[in-house]
Amino acid sequence: MRVMAQMSMIMNLDKCIGCHTCSVTCKQVWTNRTGVEYVWFNNVETKPGVGYPRRYEDQEKWKGGWIRNKRGRLKLRSGGRLKRLATIFNNPDLPVIDDYYEPWTYDYDMLTKAPLSTQSPVARPKSLLTGKNMDIKWSGNWDDNLGGSQETAADDPILATMSEHVKMEFENTFMFYLPRICEHCLNPACVAACPSGAMYKREEDGIVLVDEDGCRGWRMCVSACPYKKVYFNHKTGKAEKCTLCYPLIEQGKPTICSETCVGRLRYLGLMLYDADAVLAAASIENDEDLLDAQRGVFLDPFDPEVIAAAKAEGMEDDWILAAQNSPIYKLISEYKVALPLHPEYRTMPMVWYIPPLSPVVDVISTTNNDGEDARTLFAAIDKLRIPVEYLAGLFSAGDTIPVESSLRKLAAMRSYMRDINLGRDRDESIPEAVGMTGTEIEAMYRLLAIAKYEDRYVIPKAHVETARELEELACSLDTDGGPGMGGPTAATAAGPYGKTPGMPFSATVDNYNEMVGRGGEKTRPTTPGRINLLNWNGGGVPPGLFPPRVPPVGNAGSPA
């Protein structure tokens, strides 16, 4: 047993309103640079829909993830080592930029500086790749809220596997949002496909990162990732991906997408797992068994044997405690309501989802039935095959049982808690029907519905005493003459690969902790010894108005 910790995320899809705040804040923080205009480390898709990049779930085409070969061994779907190097001069499975969308800006200048004319000026869209006028035909969320989906939704690879009846009916039936980030998989295909060995999984927290210095731009990670969450920066010629905001995570803070999520639907915490068991679990024969296989890889953080093994691996006590308090562990292993996205890709993804009950509730409500009644809900889950089968296509390789079980638990929570909130008697038969107790349901309600900040994010800090030399593994932009050279003062300087706004303040553990105390309060003034002149009434000389007098040294003349 080799105990490793994985920083993981769970998103409660029932609460997602599709506002894209996570996407926007993520973009502002990470991808507002040239070369990654088309890149969204976090994106929100409307399901059913084709996704971003278009039809990324169609692995027959893109060849992402792993497959199990006839001898029962795991193999990258895009081919083995020899084939990879043989096709290195032209990656046969690489999506081109048009599969995402051609990035553009607007000719805003025309609005203020257009010459006198009879028509009012317009800001035409200009391609950020060619600088020419362009027609906008697609973007990252073009089919948002099923917009235009009568034309595009038939291309949804999950929908395509379902019956004709479903394809015709789905629009009247259900819709939900699916926010996606990098899955930080336990068995990452991108890492396995990188010819340079520049991609790696961090031993401490399992975050999958690209070493920008080691990347040689072979683009194999982009095509090997079945979720298409590694992107090619077309200006620097390097791969980039979601970092799980590791500078924040290391400080015990949630990622920017979680922090700014208005629905407060994201959960962050540790999962302990047995790294030695990952390969066997990912190689299991039937796709439908992968969910249970992955659950089997996770370790019980309360098990004394696991704790002893973790300590033997050098895990600190506060990390073990964080693993015990982890909302992820509760939702995946205790309540078993969270499910992985596309386990059939065999990468063992670690961003899991609580499937949305709302499509079911919506249908009940439109038929004037009680959408909070347990029996009605249970019956509807059994009857409403379309959303359940579709959800199973996303979260359990087509097996409807885990999705149903999860939805029934959510339904049970809904009606059990309604009785409590209305002051009625508790109906203990409801939790029993889903194999839970009333206490468990109430705890789950606290976690999912009340969702306190400190319950959602249980993130142990990276250990400062061991992280002294971390320094983000050195900023790779900070080269001689590079865009980041000289630190913040050179933030406006253009490097050889274009402008890089905002780089690079070194967001390291130690200098952050130096500036800010434990509770986040400032422990030190930013300008020591100064006074705020706005508070000065003009009388007298308050201390700090002038810099302290330097006593004259020896008999050198005093300063003027």
Partner 1 sequence: MNPIDFLLWVAFPYAAMAVFVVGHIFRYRHDQFGWTSRSSQTYENRLLRWGSPMFHYGILMVLGGHIVGLLVPKEWLEFFGVTEQIYHLGATWLGSVAAALTLAGLAILIYRRRLNSRVLLATTVMDKIMYLLLGAALLFGTTATVLFQVLGPGYDYRGTISPWVRGLLLAQPDPSLMSHVPFFFQLHVLSATLLFMLWPFTRLVHVFSAPLAYFVRPYIVYRSRDQHRGSGSRKPRRGWEKSELPGSTRDRQGTRR
Q: Which residues inside 196-225 make contact with partner 1, applying CB under 8 A?
A: 196-205, 211-219
Q: Cβ of residue 268: shortest distance to partner 1, in angstroms?
A: 17
Pick between residue 465 and residue 521 the one whose CB is nearest to partner 1.
465
Pick between residue 236 and residue 400 the one whose CB is nearest to partner 1.
236
Nearest to 340 by CA among 330, 355, 325: 355
Task: For residue 466, state whether it binds partner 1 (rule: CB under 8 A).
Answer: yes
Nearest to 390 by CA among 537, 232, 535, 175: 175
Pick between residue 97 and residue 493 the one whose CB is nearest to partner 1.
97
Binding partner 1 (rule: CB under 8 A), the pick from 148, 435, 486, 496 is 496
Binding partner 1 (rule: CB under 8 A), the pick from 289, 316, 389, 442 is 316
Binding partner 1 (rule: CB under 8 A), the pick from 289, 292, 313, 389 is 313
Contact 8, 273 (CB under 8 A): no
| The CA-based dihedral angle spanning residues 175, 181, 183, 188, taken in that order and rounded to the nearest 10 degrees | 120
Binding partner 1 (rule: CB under 8 A), the pick from 70, 71, 113, 132 is 132
Pick between residue 87 and residue 369 the one whose CB is nearest to partner 1.
87
Task: For residue 228, state whether it binds partner 1 (rule: CB under 8 A).
Answer: no
What is the per-residue DSSP string for 271-290? EEEEGGGHHHHHT-S-GGGH
Neighbours of 449 (CB within 10 A): 13
Task: For residue 276, state whether it binds partner 1 (rule: CB under 8 A).
Answer: no
Could you say which DSSP state residue 488 is in?
G
Task: For residue 39, state whether it binds partner 1 (rule: CB under 8 A).
Answer: no
Task: For residue 425, state whether it binds partner 1 (rule: CB under 8 A).
Answer: no
Pick between residue 130 and residue 172 the one whose CB is nearest to partner 1.
130
User: Across 36-159, where does the E strand assignment appear?
Assistant: 43-47, 66-68, 74-76, 104-106, 125-127
> Measured at the alpha carbon of residue 39, what is the angle toward residues 35 and 42, in degrees to the nearest 5?
150
Contact 68, 77 (CB under 8 A): no
Residues 313 and 228: their CA atoms lie apart, in Å, by: 33
Task: For residue 321, state whether it binds partner 1 (rule: CB under 8 A).
Answer: no
Could you say which DSSP state residue 487 is in?
G
Task: For residue 482, state whether it binds partner 1 (rule: CB under 8 A).
Answer: yes
Pick between residue 85 and residue 280 the one whose CB is nearest to partner 1.
85
Q: Cβ of residue 494: shortest distance to partner 1, in angstroms?
A: 14
Binding partner 1 (rule: CB under 8 A), the pick from 68, 167, 234, 418 is 234
3-class DSSP state of 248: helix
Contact 155, 138 (CB under 8 A): no
Nearest to 236 by CA among 509, 527, 522, 476: 476
Pick between residue 235 and residue 418 the one whose CB is nearest to partner 1.
235
Binding partner 1 (rule: CB under 8 A), the pick from 107, 144, 334, 471 is 471
Task: For residue 449, state whether it binds partner 1 (rule: CB under 8 A).
Answer: no
Q: Cβ of residue 129: shortest distance to partner 1, in angstroms?
A: 5
Task: For residue 31, state whether it binds partner 1 (rule: CB under 8 A).
Answer: no
Nearest to 139 by CA among 51, 240, 56, 222: 51
Task: For residue 514, state whether it binds partner 1 (rule: CB under 8 A).
Answer: no
Q: Cβ of residue 298: shortest distance to partner 1, in angstroms?
A: 18
Count of positions (residues) in the chain: 560
Contact 66, 189 (CB under 8 A): yes
Residues whose CB falls within 8 Å of the CB of residue 277, separated by 6 or more in sequence, listed in order = 1, 296, 297
Task: For residue 319, state whether it binds partner 1 (rule: CB under 8 A).
Answer: yes
Q: Cβ of residue 474: shortest distance to partner 1, in angstroms?
A: 4
- Contact letters (x/-) for partner 1, 73-102, by CB under 8 A? --------xx-xx--xxxxx-xxxx-----
